[in-house]
Amino acid sequence: MIQTAVSTLLSHWRRHPGQLATLIAGLALATALWSGVQAINAEARTSYAQAAATLGQDSLDRLVSASGRPVPLAEFVALRRAGYLVSPVISGELREGEARLRLLGIDPLTAPPEAGAPALQGEALDLPTFFTAPGLLLMEEETSLGSLPPGLPEIVLREGIPPGAALTDIGTAARLMDQHDPSYLLVARVQPAGLPPLEQATDLRLERPGATTDIASLTDSFHLNLTAFGLLSFAVGLFIVHAAIGLAFEQRRATIRTLRALGLPLRSLLVAISLELAVLTLFAGVLGLVLGYGIAAALMPGVAGTLRGLYGATIPGTLSFDPVWAASALGMTLAGAALAGAQALRRTASMPILAPANPRAWALASARSMRVQALVATACFATALALGVWGGSLLTGFAALAGLLLGAAMILPASLGLVLHLTGRGARGALAQWLFADTRQQLPGLSLALMALLLALAANIGVSTMVGSFRGTFIGWLDQRLAPELYVTAASLDEAARLRAFLIPRAQAILPIVSAEVPLSGRPGEVFGHIDHATYRDHWPLLQAVPDAWDIMASGQAVLINEQLARFADLSLGDPLEITPDLTLTIAGVYSDYGNPAAQAIVTLSRFAETFPDVPQTRFALRIAPEDAPMLATALREDFGLPTDAVINQTQIKRFSMEVFEQTFLITGALNVLTLGVAGFALLTSLLTLADMRLPQLAPVWALGLTRARLAWFELARSLILAALTFALALPVGLCLAWVLLAVVNVEAFGWRLPMTLFPADWLRLFALALLAAALAAAVPALRLARMPPTTLLKVFAHER
């Protein structure tokens, strides 16, 4: 019996292979989108974790010199001879034209086990060659295929080394980098018994893991954004799956009725439908996984470039297959299908055996469910609002996001119905009235597809606003931090004095960089001393400031603090801030300081020198005409004799960072277009399905004298109007989304708020895209209607039910 039922149900697909294709394509696309984003996300996170784990960056303390220069070799040997387990690392970048290679020179003899990268596992390495000149470089195959600087020793391929980097013996790194002293020392977690604390044994600065870089939290921010995108595509995908399954059921309403009328037990029918659904979903899901993998693999180099350029976190540009994301993506498709299928089964079960397939009656019945949806939507909005305002945690931030999206999707059919009802009342003439009535008639069938479109549009607006704001923030941050053209570091006070003398005739301004670590409002913090210079006045954007803040600051009576400090210590303008027990200054301004987790304050250089007389002024930022910067850098290295890494040309770094950041737009742009494409596809399938079902409505209108061409134009116009209305609702939802991400989620996650920037030009572009998607989706059924043989329309009357 079930066999017969299944074959009957399947016969529908044999007669309508196009419908089968759209159903499978819909499911597969939804899976692809979700799994693609998931794959990128998972890969980036794994790779980042792996890169961080190399050399125990994630778990080991480090000793660095306070000046930022290399640690003297004698200092390392002295610590070892005192019994401390520290291990030297020489790291840096080899550059020759475009070719670059990051070198990590470690001392395997002293490296703590936690510093272990899996490089030497597996086949035995020729140790004498590794340890003695010219040495060996271990790198991934991908790195070895790229453009590498000349003059490298033999390369051995090893898995698990960050892309663009080579792992080697410290002796080999020392030779290649021409650097004798370790860049820093790794500190083993367990030190021998009976030694005094390391801090007492050395003047080197001990850096705890995690606090080493203010880049870590920016990387987190990027991952968070990816996660948010994953969430959005999940929601979009879920709606599409729901729509595809729901439509497959609607298309076969008549078949099901016939089967039941022929005596097929309800239970057998339900089993047959479930079976069919499971098989189709599995097939489409696997197809979607393949597609998703393709999407992710295509986008991965961009993600890798972004992370590498922005954060120095290297991840491979290639994708490895991870069964976890594959399973989770397939699971999502199955769950979505089960959810949608359950509703279809429920309807089948509750359908009277001989119910006429009467679309209008169905539409009327769905008016009730529309009201229920509106109520649910209101509840969702209220919850989202409450969570957004009073939530106070990352989880509630995401919950607010979910509530907002779900509510917006739920309210859509009711809103569209209301708008159509109100405008329809003003319609003059029978044709116009029919047009509005017919559009409302179509709403229930299109509502799921329109919800998907709404979510896609909202996600587009939200994410592009967020990314755009993030980009603006990032540019500001770069300008703020990297305004001076060159940064130089002297090894000693003597050298600093000579350096100053050397620079005075050559640079427009020499800005000393001094800082001291002090607790600020009970948290670890840093105080900087600045001279009064236009560089700061022009480039440090103040979030809040008293009038003439820079002048007051220059007088030495005030302090500027970063946003993080202001937020966690709840400080505002005019409040006193204790720098040291002897020095308390008034807060004159709060500046944005993205990416830095620690508290920070700025005082004048003279104040600083009084307060911290022991901090040497050996680092300087130089202002100079940008075109002269490379020449001065060369002069500093060749004529003055500073080591290569003691002179940094920041304009190059900035340009490189910006180029890489643009990659982010390619990624989000590609994802946006994909999401929109999937939503457009859902619209297409819905319209195709409705086209067949609507013939009984269209035939009388045609019989009354309206040409097929005009009817087709009406169809097209109707889709455009619905898309435009959906966009009108998506805009505020998308902006709310961006606001929640920037102002709630980011603050909870990082302690700073990204300012929201609006991009109306993007909205216009998106509006055009939405209309285009709707027009493309409606074009096929409209064209088909325009070319429909009159006999088909006439048949409607012959087959009048």
> Residue 412 in 3-state DSSP?
helix
Q: Which two tokens stand for residue 336?
A: 């979505």
Sign of CA dihedral 372, 400, 767, 301: negative
Task: Identify the residue among 57, 67, 129, 644 touching another protein (CB under 8 A).
Answer: 129
**Alpha helix ranges (H) inside 505-577:** 534-539, 549-554, 563-568
Comparing CB distances to another protein, the nearer of 115 and 420 is 115
Closest approach of another protein to the CB of residue 99, in Å? 24
Residue 80 interacts with another protein (CB under 8 A): yes or no: yes
Residue 659 interacts with another protein (CB under 8 A): yes or no: no
Comparing CB distances to another protein, the nearer of 79 and 478 is 79
Q: Which positions from 514 through 533 interact with another protein, judged by CB under 8 A?
A: none
Closest approach of another protein to the CB of residue 117, in Å? 5
Comparing CB distances to another protein, the nearer of 73 and 418 is 73
Q: CA–CA separation, 36 vs 230, rounded Å?
A: 9
* Strand partners for 205: 64
Closest approach of another protein to the CB of residue 746, in Å? 37
Closest approach of another protein to the CB of residue 113, in Å? 6
Task: Identify the residue among 17, 97, 128, 197 touching another protein (CB under 8 A).
Answer: 128
Q: CA–CA separation, 616 vs 166, rounded Å?
A: 35
Q: How many residues does the chain have?
A: 801
Residue 117 interacts with another protein (CB under 8 A): yes or no: yes
Task: Identify the residue among 9, 32, 106, 289 touching another protein (CB under 8 A).
Answer: 106
Q: If we measure between CA atoms, which residue out of 548, 553, 537, 561 comes closest to residue 605?
A: 553
Q: CA–CA separation, 426 vs 55, rounded Å?
A: 72
Q: If we measure between CA atoms, which residue out of 685, 687, 709, 711 comes closest to residue 698?
A: 711
Q: Which stretch binds another protein (CB under 8 A): 110-118, 547-555, 568-576, 622-630?
A: 110-118
Comparing CB distances to another protein, the nearer of 120 and 491 is 120
Task: Identify the residue among 1, 49, 133, 261 touching another protein (CB under 8 A).
Answer: 133
Instruction: Give the C-alpha distances (Å, rounded to integers) separating 259 from 264, 269, 551.
Output: 6, 8, 86
Comparing CB distances to another protein, the nearer of 12 and 80 is 80
Write the Ramachandran bin of 171: left for phi over 0, alpha for psi from -120 to 50, otherwise beta.
alpha
Q: CA–CA separation, 106 vs 718, rounded Å?
A: 68
Q: If we measure between CA atoms, which residue out of 244, 458, 463, 448 comes closest to residue 333?
A: 244
Closest approach of another protein to the CB of residue 54, in Å? 9
Residue 110 interacts with another protein (CB under 8 A): yes or no: yes
Q: If we measure between CA atoms, which residue out of 176, 178, 89 comes closest to residue 133?
A: 176
Q: In sequence order, what are the residues at sequence separation of 6 or more whose Cβ sits closer than 8 angstroms to the Cβ of residue 278? A: 337
Residue 602 interacts with another protein (CB under 8 A): yes or no: no
Q: If we measure between CA atoms, which residue out of 145, 235, 646 comes closest to residue 455?
A: 235
Task: Identify the residue among 190, 501, 504, 798 touching another protein (CB under 8 A).
Answer: 190
User: Residue 39, Cβ neighbours under 10 Å: how many?
Assistant: 28
Q: If we measure between CA atoms, which residue out of 137, 146, 141 comes closest to residue 105?
A: 137
Q: CA–CA separation, 683 vs 777, rounded Å?
A: 6
Q: Mark residues 156-175: x for contact with another protein by CB under 8 A, - for none.
A: -----------x-xxx--xx
Q: Which stretch binds another protein (CB under 8 A): 71-79, 408-416, 623-631, 706-714?
A: 71-79
Q: Mark residues 375-414: x for contact with another protein by CB under 8 A, - for none.
A: ----------------------------------------
Comparing CB distances to another protein, the nearer of 77 and 342 is 77
Q: Which two tokens stand for residue 405?
A: 């999206």
Comparing CB distances to another protein, the nearer of 135 and 317 is 135
Q: What residue ranges in 592-695 does DSSP mark as E strands?
A: 599-604, 619-623, 647-649
Comparing CB distances to another protein, the nearer of 179 and 447 is 179
Comparing CB distances to another protein, the nearer of 71 and 461 is 71
Residue 319 interacts with another protein (CB under 8 A): yes or no: no
Instruction: Give the C-alpha distances (Å, rounded to integers) separating 295 from 304, 308, 669, 684.
Output: 14, 20, 13, 22
Q: Which stretch binds another protein (CB under 8 A): 131-139, 412-420, 503-511, 515-523?
A: 131-139
Q: If we measure between CA atoms, which residue out of 444, 424, 422 comes closest to residue 435?
A: 424
Closest approach of another protein to the CB of residue 188, in Å? 10
Q: If we measure between CA atoms, which residue out of 183, 185, 755 comes closest to residue 476?
A: 755
Task: Identify the residue among 83, 134, 356, 755 touching another protein (CB under 8 A).
Answer: 83
Comparing CB distances to another protein, the nearer of 115 and 463 is 115
Q: In sequence order, what are the residues at sequence separation of 6 or more whose Cβ sits closer than 8 angstroms to the Cβ of residue 430? A: none
Closest approach of another protein to the CB of residue 557, in Å? 51
Closest approach of another protein to the CB of residue 215, in Å? 24
Q: Which stretch binds another protein (CB under 8 A): 101-109, 266-274, 557-565, 633-641?
A: 101-109
Task: Identify the residue among 125, 282, 706, 779 touching another protein (CB under 8 A).
Answer: 125
Closest approach of another protein to the CB of residue 71, in Å? 13
Residue 107 interacts with another protein (CB under 8 A): yes or no: yes
Q: Which positions from 191 through 210 interact with another protein, judged by CB under 8 A?
A: 191-195
* Strand partners for 515: 528
Q: CA–CA separation, 781 vs 719, rounded Å?
A: 11
**Tokens 């009467």, residue located:** 358
Closest approach of another protein to the CB of residue 481, in Å? 33
Residue count at the site for another protein (CB under 8 A)? 44
Please say whether the beta carbons of 343 and 246 come within 8 A. Answer: yes
Task: Identify the residue among 10, 120, 658, 749 touching another protein (CB under 8 A).
Answer: 120
Residue 548 interacts with another protein (CB under 8 A): yes or no: no
Question: DSSP states of 220-231 as a string?
Answer: HHHHHHHHHHHH
Comparing CB distances to another protein, the nearer of 178 and 614 is 178
Comparing CB distances to another protein, the nearer of 77 and 254 is 77
Closest approach of another protein to the CB of residue 313, in Å? 19
* Strand partners for 92: 103
Q: Which stretch binds another protein (CB under 8 A): 109-117, 568-576, 705-713, 726-734?
A: 109-117
Q: Which two tokens stand for residue 607?
A: 């104040």
Please say whether the beta carbons of 304 and 316 come within 8 A. Answer: yes
Q: If we measure between CA atoms, which residue out of 491, 400, 332, 457 comes closest to residue 726?
A: 457
Closest approach of another protein to the CB of residue 140, in Å? 15
Closest approach of another protein to the CB of residue 154, in Å? 14
Comparing CB distances to another protein, the nearer of 121 and 792 is 121
Helices and strands: H and E segment counts in the chain? 26, 18
Could you say which DSSP state residue 740 is in?
A: I
Comparing CB distances to another protein, the nearer of 58 and 220 is 58
**Tokens 């939405």, residue located:** 770
Residue 121 interacts with another protein (CB under 8 A): yes or no: yes
- Contact residues toward another protein (CB under 8 A) are 73, 76-77, 80-83, 106-113, 115-121, 124-129, 131-133, 167, 169-171, 174-175, 180, 190-195
